[in-house]
Structure 1
Amino acid sequence: MSIAYLNGTYLPLEEARISPLDRGFLFGDGIYEVIPYYNRKPVGFAPHMQRMINGLAALEIKCNKSIDEWRELLDALIAKNDGDNFGVYVHVSRGADTKRFHAYPENVEPTVFAFAFGIKDPEPVDRATVHPYTVSSTQDLRWKRCNIKSTALLGNVMHFQQGYASGNNEILLYNDKNELTEGSSCNAFIVKDGVVITPIEDNQILPGITRRIIIDSLKADGSIPVEERTVTMDEVRNADEIWITSSSKEIAPVVKLDGNPVGNGEVGPVWEAAFRIYTDRKFDF
């Protein structure tokens, strides 16, 4: 039985209830995070929660928990659930008003919800046995504030479904300048001539925590050059390697794009070297 947290109470997940007038339900008016825990130890806890705090501030949702208070709440949640590896979903909406009205209401308490779900062990740092991904691509039709991790994910869901329906694991998105933005549920990297390259952080992409851990780990190690810059789709289609990254995927190697092989169609050596560096350092953040 999964134990959840809702507005100050730990309770069985199937007993958690919110008002139908909750603005998260009516408008997607909220912020969320998903934090991986391996052997009950979180990856990137502080940056995940700082991103949530930043998102709440951008939406003017008043939830005054500090990072330490979030840690106490979620550690207690983990302690009440069985297992070793978890994804922890944390969700704060603006709360429930007495009516449906677009403007932000005053004097409502935010709804705070969290639950833990089991996740598999990390993929092996071995390009011969890792699970490879295939992806498609399409123009990015989402809103222009993708840097906010909003619960209003319909645009992402529609893009993901487009890729999924075509038999792929993900879909890469590009803007009207034919520049890579990200995936529908992940960030994206390419590798060319041994250099790891990823789009810059702006309003077109989510500032991914796994993305940042990868970049900072590679820069600290120094053995693999990494660049943050504009990436064209021509570069993506001619890349030696493509990776998609998220808290749940970590660093997933892509071997096909739009039905065509990426590089030689096999998981690349830079992925293996970078994933080893990331794996050695991921709990430091």
Structure 2
Amino acid sequence: MRWEGNRQSDNVEDRRGEGGGGGGGGGFRLGGGKLGIGGVIVALVLSYVFGVSPTAMLGMMNGGAPVQQQAPAAKAGPDDRAKDFVQTVLADTEDVWGALFQQQGQTYAKPTLTLFTGSTQTACGTGQSATGPFYCPPDQKVYIDLEFFDLMQQRFHVAGEFAQAYVIAHEVGHHVQNLMGLSDKVHGAQQRLSEAEGNALSVKLELQADCFAGVWAFHANQSRKILEQGDIETALAAATAIGDDALQRQSRGHVVPDSFTHGTSAQRVRWFRKGIDSGEIAQCDTFKARQL
């Protein structure tokens, strides 16, 4: 992915190394021992399966011992390439969505992207790195522990900067949904529906965010030629790896469609492709689609 030298966003908040962070080797200290990166991602998958918080699962994996975090890591220096990358990708999403909103006579409110380690306070409660990147609508912030990108490579064998950019663009896609009022509509409807019906709405929301990520990539490439050979394949590999069916097969050995909240691998790939092939917001209406 070509990104170096492009504009960087000022809307990145760096909380890495602050109190509540992880640090060191990227693990959590459980009792007298340390649960490394591999253990954390296992806890994430198990918490997904059994419907408990990642922190609670980490404790259970330690036989009920309390979860203790390691000493905070030092803040990265001025040569922090990872932060430069995040700032550049975020700036690119700002430029793309700013232009698209302007075309519709609207103003795009830029989100803040917060980097953290371990855990951090958000308007949605305590954010945990074990849950992966997430967007919090009340404070309009995207939260990312950059070690998630290491987990993508180690656990799912997905590498490449464009795959990482896809993750960021997906979370920014949730911000776009929030600005459009779609998030509130979905969450309001979920209060009146059964769990299975509510999950189905969550799938549509997530697939639309995948499509919005594709819309960003289309316009960013048109304007700045960011894509290199193999980049799209890495993003598709990331979408495939984190499909609900793929995660459930890994953890359970079988799939339970009614419990899906993000969509299957095939669906995530299909909607990202719709966005990157068309570059049109209108092509991302998962809520009216006859087939996901």
Shorter-chain TM-score: what band?
Answer: under 0.3
TM-score by length of 2: 0.27
**Larger strand share, 1 or 2:** 1
Bigger radius of gyration among the two: 1
| Higher fraction of helix | 2
